[in-house]
Amino acid sequence: MSDARANILARLRAAPRSPLPDRPDWTPPAFGESRLERFRAMLGSVHGEVVETTLAAWPGLLRTLLAERGVRRVLYGPAADVGAQLGRAWTADGDAPTLVPYDRPIEALKAELVHSVEAGVTSVRWGIAETGSLVLWPDAAEPRLMSLLPPLHVAVMAASVLYDSLAQLVAEQGWAGGMPTNALLISGPSKTADIEQTLAYGVHGPKDLLVLVLADQ
């Protein structure tokens, strides 16, 4: 060990010890009946959009919303519950956008994914009202690129999986005993700022985020 390093370590060990500061009191927020309104307000503050619908009606509503945006090619996961429902509903609808299945290796899908897909539809594992965030748990049926690459991310979430806070979610879902291997926390569309603090959307991912909240049946 060099003399300089030894001297530094010796001084650190000899320094008087200060008592640890008291841990501040903190109670996770609880929004009660206003949980969904809090979620909507927080997501809306960062240019995300929340639309309420039902399990049966959301594919038809999504077709209308995408038509208003001029979206005609939509990426979906046919093996996922959300993707399977969308596929069944849109197959018989001649006016529905074209569905592009994520059922191939990325090498085979890359050109279409980058150049022609206009929106990606995924399910949502949980929502967080406090910050207006979505928690996605990507898997083979819905790989993470579905929510990260298309210009518009459509997220389908049941109202029953909306939590007040991340702390509540972590505690009630037992993350201390086994965290998800690849959880994504999404709080609005992709955004970044330059050195002059000019905010831009869609630079590193989707520029629009549409969340369909399905009422409890």
Mean pLDDT of the chain: 92
Residue 34 has pLDDT above 70, yes or no: yes
* In contact, 122 and 136? CB cutoff 8 Å: yes
Say which range, 49-53, 122-126, 139-143, 178-182, has the weakest mean pLDDT.
178-182
Per-residue pLDDT tens digits for 110-136:
999 989 999 999 999 999 999 999 999
In a domain, 27, yes or no: no
Does the pLDDT of residue 180 top 80, yes or no?
Answer: no
Q: What is the CATH number of the domain that holds 140?
A: 3.40.50.10420
Position 16 in a domain: no
Q: How many domains does the chain have?
A: 1
Helices 58-69 and 81-91 pack at an angle, to 10 degrees, of: 70
pLDDT tens track for 132-155: 999 999 999 999 999 999 999 999
**Is 157 domain-assigned?**
yes
Structural domain boundaries, residue 157 = 32-192+204-214
Is 4 inside a domain boundary?
no
- The upper half-sphere exposure of residue 125, i.e. CA atoms within 13 Å in the direction of its Cβ, equals 17
* Rounded-to-integer distance, Cα 98 and Cα 112, Å: 13
Q: Flag whether 53 is in a domain.
A: yes
Is 183 within a domain? yes
* Residue 17 pLDDT exceeds 90: no
* Residue 125 covered by a domain: yes
Report the pLDDT value the prediction gives residue 217, as an integer from 0 to 100: 59
Q: pTM for this structure?
A: 0.86
In a domain, 144, yes or no: yes
Cα–Cα dist 137/45, whole Å: 24
What average pLDDT score do residues 77-103 get?
93
